[in-house]
Amino acid sequence: ADEMDGAQFAREFGRCVHRVGSVTRSARRPAASGRPSVRAAAAIELARALCTEPKLLLLDEPSSGLNVEETDDMAFWIGDIRDELGVTVLMVEHDMSLVSKVSDRVLAMNQGEVLALGTPAEVQRHPGVIEAYLGAAGGVESMPGRPKQASIPSGDRSLYPASEGQS
């Protein structure tokens, strides 16, 4: 492997910092523990990956451990990576809010079987996806281990088909 001299390393480091500067700047919030916050750690990992100037970025549950505000930041960062840097992003993610914000194509799977491929809205409306993720009746109530009195969370109710007795 070729070794860099100090000047070359400094140039490469500066190029990398410039490339991902907006990501890391927006993540600077000190944590009480003195360690990087979850948001900062996520930004740092994205920055590290981007330093190699990838054409394809693989993300495994990038919103894991993030709160709603931090997940919104992640969506913004992923969008910028895709739109401004021209990087293709392949992401495994269960947070459909994040998936919907940053994806133009979604593949839904259940136990290794492809259920649906399409836009986020098409996949969310697909009967096989609804059955696999919400149960045969299409509601939270039918999910194994869920109490009969469970309610649908607030938000985009279009993801859930109306069940009997609901309007």
Strands 56-60 and 88-92, bridge-based pairing: parallel
Mean pLDDT per block of 10 residues along the chain (167 residues) reads 66 67 52 67 81 89 90 89 90 92 93 93 93 70 43 45 46
- Residue 89 pLDDT: 93
Strands 56-60 and 113-118, bridge-based pairing: unpaired
pTM of the entire structure?
A: 0.64
Helix then strand then coil, % of the chain, to nearest 5: 45, 15, 40
Query: What six digits make up the tokens of 4?
Result: 């860099």
